[in-house]
């Protein structure tokens, strides 16, 4: 008898349902989200035939958390079912739209019973690969938060402090640059900035790490701040200055977090045996490499071929055909983190690899837009990465992008 388990998880408790291959309910329970509850779940599985040689597969609507970690530690197959798929499957058992936590656990168990080959278990990644994934995703989130807060700060400065934008917006990092944040901390309003002495500006630049041309840069900033600009009423300007300082403190905190997470992710990534292969590809530096490894993992059985990896990353096109209609477009359902990395990777590879640049230009000449050509390049390089990781070889420019054959005369 084959047995399947479904877990409907929540913050405080989890509902369990165990069914056999005929659909009969063998056991159900509600466990707490603690060690005692996890032990109760493992005991319930053991009572229904769970063994180390033949563990019962489990379906759950998340891929994270302590419960998932406990289940994965038992070396069993854990299936993270998309909540949207589970919701649509629920309609197969009734049209009344009724819903309950025990019922959802039953639905998840029946998904494995009827459609197990259609779902992929969580990959058996190594502990180091999982750690790289945690750090790389956290660093990516910190970078996104940093950009979001910087945009909020820029929007606020436009309303009352255009001199600050003129002073820093043309820099490579804009308001995120340490010098911009250091100067804005001592000049929260345009009135305060116009009265700043040269010494305070120079001290702020030194605190930000500047070592060269400090006097000249301080004089440039003072000239910008003393320019002719419109002003808000004094009380309104002062209030906006306090709001700006609050945003600036958030920006400083997220900048520090992003830098610390970047160092931690880079350190863990360099220790992984796949790092040498990933870094051999053009356009990939340490941070992008850590994100690639974090999303791909190191379970070589996760993707049977390169097509599955390309679909997972959103690089492969998708075909919608019905009757005489046929449309080939870009994929919407994907790993968005890996897809975001792919665009950065492919764009950076244009300068680092002559073959990648030539491939991109051929796609543009073929009629592709920029985004489509970059996606096509990412699709090709993903296939190359899959091949290199499977065969434990480094990237070779001549093999990846062979020169065109000379015409036969």
From first CA to last CA, the distance across the chain in angstroms is 69
Q: Which residues of the chain have pLDDT under 70?
A: 1, 405-409
The residue written with tokens 């449309």 in the block is: 327
Q: Which residues constitute the domain of residue 165?
A: 132-267
Q: Has residue 53 been placed in a domain?
A: yes
Residue 216 burial (CB < 10 Å; 0-12/13-18/19+)? exposed
**Could you tell me if residue 127 is inside a domain?**
no
- Identify whether 17 is part of a domain: yes
Orientation angle between helical segments 370-391 and 336-352, nearest 10 degrees: 90
Q: What is the per-residue pLDDT for 170?
A: 79
Same structural domain, 137 and 243: yes
pTM for this predicted structure: 0.88
Does 7 map to a domain? yes
State the pLDDT at residue 182: 95
Q: 235 and 175, same structural domain?
A: yes
Instruction: Return d(Cα 3, Cα 406) in angstroms, integer.
Output: 61
- Same domain? For 155 and 185 the reply is yes
CA angle (13, 19, 21) in 5-degree steps: 155
What does each C-alpha distance from 132 to 122, 138, 174, 295 come to in angstroms? Answer: 16, 10, 29, 9
Structural domain total, the chain:
3
Indicate the residue among 122, 155, 185 that finishes a domain. 122
Q: Would 408 be classed as within a structural domain? A: no
Distance CA 267, CA 218 (A): 37
Strand pairing report for 58-60 and 78-80: parallel
Same structural domain for residues 337 and 395? yes
Contact 317, 372 (CB under 8 A): no
**Which residue carries 């870094």 as its tokens?**
279
Distance CA 302, CA 304 (A): 6
Predicted local confidence at residue 405, as pLDDT:
66
Any domain includes 409:
no
Domain boundary among the residues 122, 149, 169 is at 122
* Residue pair 256/148 in contact by the 8 Å Cβ criterion: no
- Cα dihedral across residues 268, 270, 271, 273: positive or negative: positive
DSSP reduced 3-state for 302: coil
Round to whole Å and give the CA distance between 385 and 400: 10
Q: Please tell me whether residues 117 and 142 are part of one structural domain.
A: no
pLDDT attached to residue 93? 73
Whether 106 is in a domain gets the answer yes
State the pLDDT at residue 88. 87
Say whether both 118 and 45 belong to one domain.
Answer: yes
């Amino acid at each position: 008898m084959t047995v399947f388990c479904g877990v409907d998880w929540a913050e405080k408790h989890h509902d369990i349902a165990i069914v056999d291959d005929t659909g009969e309910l063998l056991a159900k329970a509600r466990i707490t989200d603690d060690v005692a509850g996890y032990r109760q779940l493992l005991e319930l599985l053991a009572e229904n035939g769970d063994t180390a040689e033949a563990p019962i597969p489990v379906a759950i609507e998340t891929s994270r958390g302590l419960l998932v970690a406990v289940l994965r530690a038992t070396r069993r197959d854990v299936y993270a079912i998309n909540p949207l798929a589970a919701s649509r499957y629920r309609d197969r058992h009734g049209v009344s739209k009724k819903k309950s936590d025990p019922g959802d656990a039953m639905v998840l168990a029946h998904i494995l019973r009827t459609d197990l080959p259609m779902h992929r278990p969580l990959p058996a990644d190594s502990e180091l690969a999982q750690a790289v994934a945690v750090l790389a995703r956290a660093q990516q989130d910190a970078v996104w938060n940093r950009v979001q807060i910087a945009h909020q700060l820029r929007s606020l400065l436009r309303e009352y402090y255009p001199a600050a934008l003129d002073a820093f917006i043309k820099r490579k990092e804009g308001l995120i640059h340490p010098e911009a944040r250091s100067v804005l901390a001592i000049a929260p309003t345009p009135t305060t900035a116009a009265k700043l002495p040269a010494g305070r500006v120079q001290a702020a630049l030194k605190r930000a790490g500047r070592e060269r041309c400090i006097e000249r840069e301080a004089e440039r900033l003072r000239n910008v701040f003393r320019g002719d600009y419109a002003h808000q009423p004094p009380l309104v300007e002062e209030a906006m200055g306090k709001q700006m300082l609050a945003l600036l403190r958030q920006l400083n905190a997220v900048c520090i977090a992003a830098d610390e997470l970047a160092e931690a992710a880079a350190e863990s990534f360099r220790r992984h045996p796949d790092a040498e292969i990933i870094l051999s590809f053009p356009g990939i530096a340490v941070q992008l490499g850590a994100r690639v490894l974090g999303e791909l993992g190191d379970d070589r059985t996760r993707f049977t071929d390169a097509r599955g990896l390309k679909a997972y990353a959103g690089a492969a096109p998708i075909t919608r055909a019905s009757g005489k209609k046929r449309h080939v477009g870009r994929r919407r359902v994907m790993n968005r983190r890996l897809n975001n990395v792919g665009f950065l990777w492919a764009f950076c590879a244009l300068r680092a690899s002559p073959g990648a640049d030539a491939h991109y230009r051929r796609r543009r000449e073929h009629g592709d837009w920029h985004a489509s050509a970059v996606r096509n390049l990412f699709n090709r390089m993903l296939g190359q990465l899959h091949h290199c990781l499977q065969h434990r070889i480094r990237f070779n420019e001549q093999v990846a992008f062979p020169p065109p054959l000379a015409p036969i005369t």
